[in-house]
Amino acid sequence: MCGIVGAIAQRQVSGILLEGLKRLEYRGYDSAGMAVRDQADGQIHCTRRSGKVAELEAALGQQPLQGSLGIAHTRWATHGKPEERNAHPHLADGRVAVVHNGIIENFEPLKNGLIAKGVEFASDTDTEVIAHLVHDKLNQGVEFPEAVKQTIAQLDGAYALAIIDQQQPDLIMAARMGSPLVIGIGIGENFIASDPLAMLQVTDQFIYLDEGDLAEVRLESVSVRNRAGEPVEHEVLRYEHGQDATDKGEYRHYMMKEIMEQPAVVEAVLEGRLGKEAVLEQAFGAEAKAIFDRVQSVQIIACGTSYHAGMIAKYWIEELVGIPCQIEVASEYRYRKTVVLPNSLFLTISQSGETADTLAALREAKEAGFLACLTICNVPGSSLVRESDLSLMTNAGPEIGVASTKAFTSQLVALLLTALVLGRRHGISAEQESELVSALKRLPQQLEQVLSLDSAIETLSQRFADKNHSLFLGRGAMYPVAMEGALKLKEISYIHAEAYPAGELKHGPLALVDKEMPVIVVAPNNSLLEKLKANMQEVQARGGELYVFADQAAGLDNGEGIHTLELPHVHSLVGPILYTIPLQLLSYHVAVLKGTDVDQPRNLAKSVTVE
């Protein structure tokens, strides 16, 4: 993962770079560093620290870096431990400095070749070879841009790179292959970053580089060549999300802010997509109609939380549309032989639009004979959006907390819209569609009601803080909701959490149930409620402690070994969206009680742009 930034300006850049790193910290936070060229002495000065960006900030506070050309990095370790010597930027002989996001797969033979030439390495990273390769070519008299071009031609793997040369006061070389990179366009200054968010404090105009692009970023100009070496003109796009989206506001953590934003986010994803009684198909793009008319099956691919959204969509698509829908995690799908059904729509779901496995699966799919590729994504201009035939943006705004919350609910809404437009071609009646459209319109207000349970959930969370294990149960489309609840709890509170379809309880997990293993149940008032109640009795009979999020009409009371929180009644198909919220709040409060780093849980990163 990792986040990279670069700046070339007529003013000091270290503050801009530092702010950029803070905004990119969601991408990795085990070490950070910055290299700035000081025009006074013509040298590149570099400061690196293990730990979070705050450590680097403190070091820079003691000893500021001066200069108007610089690059910086926040790291999520792949090669080499998260120690200062492995932090980026990596330098070669004080002349070349490199920051990198990605993995260089052939770094070992390249490194061995350099060692044979007498080069000494200071880190265990794959990245350092890049600095030395460029430096080696400069030594041979090759011009800096050409040296970078020749170097990247030697690299296998994934990279977003920013490279500076001490002898080039007006140039940052930027390259992209397999990892995201944008160029921020200012007036008399330019920037690069892994994500536009990082540079919103200085510009809202961005160029999104394509795979294989190599850019020369100067004070007054940006020129880009594609992988064939031909000059390309990319459109400069205005970033559309509100600038305050990266501000924590009144909240202690981004995660809480993002949980609380969900009613507004649901409104945003519905905005312009609903007519009075039906979904507006144009939202999917001009070519959508011709494609949707032919869809006979759907293959969904995603990772992490987005995968759970896809699992729920499978229930919706098979129930509402009545066509086969398969779902698989991208990292499995891409490495096995699969069978493509005729007229099958390939559907990716991703918050970032940059997840390496999902992107790779999309690229495979494009060769595999699918009818078309649709992505449900939160980041306009991201790789998945650009490489798919159709896209539906989730409009959730930037999500900073590593544990995904509002992105998930917005994906669910977008997926339900997708199921409706497909369903219309396969027998959903206008009445059914209108009923669901009304249910969606009511949803923001119902989400507000659920969010008002926050303090009750906070009280409940106290019973979890000393536990080491937990079990989440659901049936039907509530099973993936339980999976998402378990994922949230494990991600941020580090409590081991497993989710099971409630009917599977007696086939194994029941053996684990005792007072020390809280069992969380999502119990809407649907056709499976009676069966779920029987499962709950199986838990109670073994002395287990139940925490149930239930429909007002479910007829469940508080009692010995059972703590029930009532939720408003919703349309059964919309239920998964509503029932997700209390599980998010529960994880949040447990994590706060445990004192973990809620927004940046250990070992994780938000945008996983490596395999």
Q: Which is nearer to ligand G6P, 5 or 407 (CB)?
A: 407
Q: Contact between 358 and ligand G6P (CB under 6 A)?
A: yes
SS3 of residue 23 by DSSP: helix
Q: What is the DSSP letter of 611?
A: -
Q: Contact between 304 and ligand G6P (CB under 6 A)?
A: yes
Which positions from 318 to 357 touch ligand G6P by CB under 6 A, shown as an x/- string?
Answer: --------------------------------xxx--x--
According to CB under 6 A, which one of 21, 60, 98, 303 is a site residue for ligand G6P?
A: 303
211-229: buried (b, 16+ CB within 10 Å) or exposed (e) per residue? bebbbbbbbeebebbebee
C-beta atoms surrounding 172 within 10 Å? 25
Q: Contact between 383 and ligand G6P (CB under 6 A)?
A: no
Q: Contact between 604 and ligand G6P (CB under 6 A)?
A: yes
> In the numeric block, which tokens belong to residue 551?
């429909």
Q: Which of 2, 325, 373, 377 is catalytic?
A: 2
According to CB under 6 A, which one of 166, 344, 404, 584 is a site residue for ligand G6P?
A: 404
What dihedral angle (degrees, nearest 10) is formed by the CA atoms of 564, 567, 573, 579? Answer: -70
Q: How many residues touch ligand G6P (CB under 6 A)?
A: 15
Q: Which is nearer to ligand G6P, 404 or 410 (CB)?
A: 404
Q: Are 377 and 313 a contacting pair, CB within 8 Å?
A: no
Give me the helix-helix angle, 262-270 and 430-451, nearest 10°.
160
Q: Contact between 606 and ligand G6P (CB under 6 A)?
A: yes
> Residue 483 carries which side chain, given as an amino acid letter?
M
Q: Which is nearer to ligand G6P, 36 or 330 (CB)?
A: 330
Q: Contact between 600 and ligand G6P (CB under 6 A)?
A: no
> In the numeric block, which tokens belong to residue 600?
């940046």
Least distance (Å) from ligand G6P to the CB of residue 330? 8
| Helix (H), strand (E) at residue 548 | strand 546-551
> In the numeric block, which tokens belong to residue 513?
């149930």
Minimal CB distance to ligand G6P: which residue? 304
Could you tell me which residues are beta bridge partners of residue 74? 3, 32
Q: Which is nearer to ligand G6P, 68 or 351 (CB)?
A: 351
Q: Which is nearer to ligand G6P, 127 or 352 (CB)?
A: 352
Q: How far apart are CA 431 and CA 282, in angstroms?
A: 21
Active site residue 149: no
Active site residue 606: yes
Q: Which of 22, 137, 314, 606 is catalytic?
A: 606
According to CB under 6 A, which one of 151, 306, 410, 535 is a site residue for ligand G6P?
A: 306
According to CB under 6 A, which one of 114, 402, 415, 443 is a site residue for ligand G6P?
A: 402
| Helix (H), strand (E) at residue 302 | strand 297-302
Spell out the alpha helix ranges (H) of 63-183: 107-116, 128-139, 144-154
Sign of CA dihedral 123, 127, 133, 138: negative
CA atoms within 13 A on the CB side of 530: 1
Pick the stretch among 11-19, 239-247, 303-311, 549-557 that binds ligand G6P (CB under 6 A): 303-311
Which positions from 262 to 301 touch ligand G6P by CB under 6 A, shown as an x/- string?
Answer: ----------------------------------------
Q: Are 374 and 340 a contacting pair, CB within 8 Å?
A: no
Pick the stretch among 171-179, 273-281, 310-318, 602-610 that binds ligand G6P (CB under 6 A): 602-610
Binding residues for ligand G6P, rule: CB under 6 A, are 303-306, 350-352, 355, 358, 402, 404, 604, 606-608
Which residues carry out catalysis? 2, 606
